Structure 1
Amino acid sequence: MKDAKFAITDIETTGSGIKGNKITEICVMVVQNGEIINEYSSLVNPSQSIPLYIESLTGINDDMVSNAPQFSEIADKIEEITRDCIFVAHNVSFDYNILRAEFTNIGRDFKRKRICTVRLTKKLIPGLFSYSLGNICTSINIPHYDRHRAGGDCEATVTLFQRCVSLDPEYEVINEFLNRKTGASFLPPNFKNSDFEKLPTETGVYFFKDKDGIPLYIGKAKNIKNRIKSHFQERSNRKYKLMQEVHSIDYELTGNEFLALLRESDLILKYYPKYNKAQKKYAKPYTLTSYHNQKGIEVFALHKNKISPVSWMKFYTRDEAVSFMEKVCEKFELCPKYAGLQRGVTSCDHYKIKSCSGVCRAEIEVEEYNDRVAQAIDFINQYENSCLLMEKGRTRDEKSFIYLQKGRYAGYGFIGNSEDFSHPEDFRNYLIPQKNSSYTDRLVSRYLNTKKNLIRQPLENTESIVETEAGSWFG
């Protein structure tokens, strides 16, 4: 390792993100055994205008790069000077990924082992107020000339790297960072590898937080650690900006995916994190209604905008509504023509439902058919009752419940597997109340309409327990 070559690099670009960002200047200094053995620097024509704010920051303008080589013209030189080197930069994910993107754009690949001097300095020189290159140089007395120019920043990074090597003479920390299994190669600059290794692999919600502990982003995951790793490895401008602000990660285990979805919604509405897209405002739901036609037959209908004196149930997509009504038709031998599933036919001829009792062909009396409809409405009303949805808990020794108050999400809780509710109100001792929203309405509706093998156990006072089979369900 002591004879290893390190290609310490700095680039200036047309912007602050990764995608669509083009190099305007590059400097590479190759260090071996503490000495600079090779170097290369050049302005680069990005083939696009340099924004005014970037020009103000770096001093590089369109005129300066108009006669400079394009990246394709210097790619061979960059490939050659960094060959057999470990790629080093201050906030290496930025420089490395911009450079890789430039190579990709000309149909070439670029892969190097890499080290970030932000993370290296945090490990070897802890406790500094800031780990930006300028502030580090000021704090530990490193000369830093021509700031925000590739040559000046690269020279300062070389001195910083040499200082770090003097504090790690056996290259123990550097070797640790080069080991991809530790995760150090993909973690954001302000996040500790030790904290990443402590993340759980269970189901729940997670919080990316800024330096003041304020949530920047909240998400859900079946495997929290793997999902967070995928965030770190994603290459988009938005994700890059988020990762630069992340200083800590918190999480909350839920034990199952449905509760993770609900908790994600709860927490986004509570904190309104900067990087979460606002929860979508869904269009008006489809409303299941019924009325008596001229023959006296009680007919189901689905309306989206019409006002009806009778409303049995709401659906957030027509597919959900159709799927549910097909099940109702089969269960109670109703006619698809009179269940909102077929229009413009004299008698039903549904592709799937063959169990029609024959009311459309006058094979049974209207009163008998309406009795079937009444039974179906009683069944439908169960979905609007208050109930508990029992799901997997966070450990093998517990289970979770989601409380629906008159069909609307109202909270959740956890109980031991051996505990049982002898009285319907006992669950309130464990309940963590939550506010309902149109988004959680949709989650609950989809859950109830897509979950198979729901078993309803009636309890007194119209309460019921809904046991669900173990399995995977995610929106």
Structure 2
Amino acid sequence: MYAIVDIEATGGQPFQDKITEIAIFIHDGQQIVDKYTTLINPQRPIPYFISNLTGITDEMVQEAPKFYEVAKEIVQFTEGKIFVAHNVRFDYSFLKKEFADLGYTFQRKTLCTVRLSRSLIPGLPSYSLGKLCKSIDIELQQRHRAIGDAEATAELFDKLLKINRTAVDGALHTAEPAKELAKEIKTSLLPPHIKKEQVDALPLAPGVYYFYNEQGEVIYVGKSINIRKRIIQHFNIDYKSRKSLDFKNSIADISFELMGNELVALLFESAEIKRMKPFYNRQQRRSVFNTGIFMYEDSNGYKRLTFGSVNKAENVSLTPIIALSNPFKAKGFLFHKVSKYNLCQKLCDLYKTNGACFDYQVHQCQGACIGQESPESYNARVDEAIESFTYEHNSFVIIGRGRHENEKSVVVVDNGIYLGFGFVDETFSAQSLEDFKGAVTRYKDNKDIQQIIRGHIRSKHKDKVIVFD
């Protein structure tokens, strides 16, 4: 038995929007045998653009039952049945969230008519419900109303069942219905373009993976210590917004690069995101780091932090302690360090004055700005602040696992600057830092990379670290 479901809601995000209408058609594998439909009072205003799309207004749902008043009927109608919907994750996620708010775990086997349609009717220009129905002559009435969309999905499902059966005249001979549907039920949460065989072929090893759209463009880059497991998690997670559903549905292919260990996977992922700037990678996309944090000692012996262009640094070391994407980020970074390590705003170029800084006036600064605190006392805290975002050693190499048992990975930092990583045979012998530098592929250094390496060094890693200070 199958429960073919469609819902309408106040928006596209299950974690914040609410259901306004639900329709359920019961199919016994041969025909529609029952149906259930009702408007639902979402207990909040329906946005104008949603009312304009669905035709459901605040007035229409004012006297409608609230979700908890119809929850039992929905459970009874769907219990023991396969939950069928077009883009099943959308409707299923909304119902799971509504029931979770009531303290009930709603769980059903699911079947997606988008995936089933792609499997049984390949080659159509679009598999959106409206265009798909038009392609195969299904009349779709009351579009964007639960009753209309559910009825059209039920008719589509009925056609798919008939297509899947062996034709009497032998002209069409596909898999047995039970086998085909069982396969689609198992894979209903995969993106429509992705086959189970593709996922099964992914390695259970550390590396970087790529998601492509139908045009062959990389739309997402990720990393994991177990590529297959992480990608399955991507596909199984309940979707939280329309954007996450669009992301999942746009994945048409997958590739990967083995990296041997998590550190190298993190470093390569960061570099690839900056190089490709995939649409669905929001973090680490910035690739220009033209503002630096610098340190110098003034004539009174105080260590001073400042920020400025990495290419136009004046009166300070030409090498920044750390590079950030823009002056706004750098200024915010310094304000954080001033607050955390009780530094002086004036001595960090954050407060322009000839006298005491503002923090001294409110007893937050110990008076280095007017010579009241000794340079030795103040500089100790500056060193502590710098240590929080720099490496313990200037030059070092991290040697970790390679992509196979006869290989090692090598990560090189020279004079505080990340040079890159590479892979060497386990018999590789190096006598100097220069030997290791010749074994790596060069990559750009930046704040993201520095955070990755610092975090790894401070973790309970099992890699070998060789220091060349």
TM-score (norm 2): 0.72
How far apart, in 2, do the equivalents of 1:116 and 1:426 lie? 56
One-letter amino acid of the counterpart of residue 122, structure 1: R
Once the two structures are superposed, what CA deviation does each residue of 1:291-310 show, in whole Å capped at 9, x if it has no partner? 9999xxxxxx9865599979
Once the two structures are superposed, what CA deviation does each residue of 1:235-270 show, in whole Å capped at 9, x if it has no partner? 322544432332222222111111111112112212
Relative distance call for 1:441 and 1:230 in structure 2 (3 A) is: same
User: Do 1:17 and 1:241's aligned partners in 2 also have CA atoms closer than 8 Å?
Assistant: no
Relative distance call for 1:209 and 1:192 in structure 2 (3 A) is: same
2:23 equivalent among 17, 24, 27: 27
Secondary structure of 1:383 counterpart: coil
User: Quick check: 1:189 aligned with 2:192?
Assistant: yes
User: Quick check: 1:205 aligned with 2:208?
Assistant: yes
User: Quick check: 1:152 aligned with 2:157?
Assistant: no
User: Quick check: 1:172 aligned with 2:179?
Assistant: yes
1:279, CA displacement in angstroms?
Answer: 3.4
1:217, CA displacement in angstroms?
Answer: 2.7
1:416 equivalent among 425, 428, 436: 425
**Higher deviation after alignment, 264-273 or 209-218:** 209-218
One-letter amino acid of the counterpart of residue 111, structure 1: Q
Relative distance call for 1:455 and 1:120 in structure 2 (3 A) is: closer
User: Quick check: 1:390 aligned with 2:403?
Assistant: no
**Identity, % of aligned pairs?**
35
Relative distance call for 1:33 and 1:187 in structure 2 (3 A) is: closer
User: Do 2:39 and 2:61's aligned partners in 1 also have CA atoms closer than 8 Å?
Assistant: yes
Once the two structures are superposed, what CA deviation does each residue of 1:4-57 show, in whole Å capped at 9, x if it has no partner? x11111111111222122111111110113111111111221111222222222
Once the two structures are superposed, what CA deviation does each residue of 1:90-134 show, in whole Å capped at 9, x if it has no partner? 111111111121222233332222111111112222222221111
Q: 1:432 is matched with which residue?
A: 441
How far apart, in 2, do the equivalents of 1:381 and 1:253 lie? 27
Relative distance call for 1:287 and 1:280 in structure 2 (3 A) is: farther
1:244 equivalent among 233, 236, 249: 249
Secondary structure of 1:258 counterpart: helix
Relative distance call for 1:18 and 1:210 in structure 2 (3 A) is: farther
How far apart, in 2, do the equivalents of 1:382 and 1:61 lie? 62
Moved over 4 A (4+): 284-294, 301-318, 337-343, 421-430, 448-455
Q: 1:358 is matched with which residue?
A: none
User: Quick check: 1:456 aligned with 2:441?
Assistant: no
User: Do 1:222 and 1:257's aligned partners in 2 also have CA atoms closer than 8 Å?
Assistant: yes
1:340, CA displacement in angstroms?
Answer: 8.3
How far apart, in 2, do the equivalents of 1:193 and 1:452 lie? 35
Q: 2:234 is matched with which residue?
A: 231
Relative distance call for 1:303 and 1:221 in structure 2 (3 A) is: farther
TM-score (norm 1): 0.71
Q: 2:5 is matched with which residue?
A: 9
Relative distance call for 1:263 and 1:63 in structure 2 (3 A) is: same
User: Quick check: 1:261 aligned with 2:266?
Assistant: yes
Q: 1:401 is matched with which residue?
A: 410
Q: 2:108 is matched with which residue?
A: 112
Secondary structure of 2:32 counterpart: strand
Relative distance call for 1:198 and 1:340 in structure 2 (3 A) is: farther
How far apart, in 2, do the equivalents of 1:275 and 1:132 lie? 22
Secondary structure of 1:384 counterpart: coil
How far apart, in 1, do the equivalents of 2:431 and 2:462 lie? 26
Gaps of 5+ in 1: 295-300, 323-336, 344-379, 463-475
How far apart, in 2, do the equivalents of 1:443 and 1:285 lie? 18
User: Do 1:287 and 1:302's aligned partners in 2 also have CA atoms closer than 8 Å?
Assistant: no
One-letter amino acid of the counterpart of residue 205, structure 2: E
How far apart, in 2, do the equivalents of 1:302 and 1:101 lie? 55
User: Do 1:289 and 1:311's aligned partners in 2 also have CA atoms closer than 8 Å?
Assistant: no
**Higher deviation after alignment, 447-456 or 69-78:** 447-456
Relative distance call for 1:457 and 1:314 in structure 2 (3 A) is: closer
User: Do 1:204 and 1:255's aligned partners in 2 also have CA atoms closer than 8 Å?
Assistant: yes
Query: Structure 2 matches for 1:11-410, cutoff 5 A?
Result: 11-169=7-165, 170=176, 171-179=178-186, 184-235=187-238, 236-237=240-241, 239-279=244-284, 305=306, 383-385=393-395, 388-410=397-419
One-letter amino acid of the counterpart of residue 105, structure 1: D
One-letter amino acid of the counterpart of residue 417, structure 1: E
Once the two structures are superposed, what CA deviation does each residue of 1:176-203 show, in whole Å capped at 9, x if it has no partner? 2334xxxx14323343222221222111
Q: 2:364 is matched with which residue?
A: none
Relative distance call for 1:401 and 1:155 in structure 2 (3 A) is: same
**Higher deviation after alignment, 230-239 or 114-123:** 230-239
Gaps of 5+ in 2: 166-175, 308-313, 323-332, 342-374, 382-389
Secondary structure of 1:141 counterpart: coil
How far apart, in 2, do the equivalents of 1:389 and 1:260 lie? 14
Aligned residues: 393
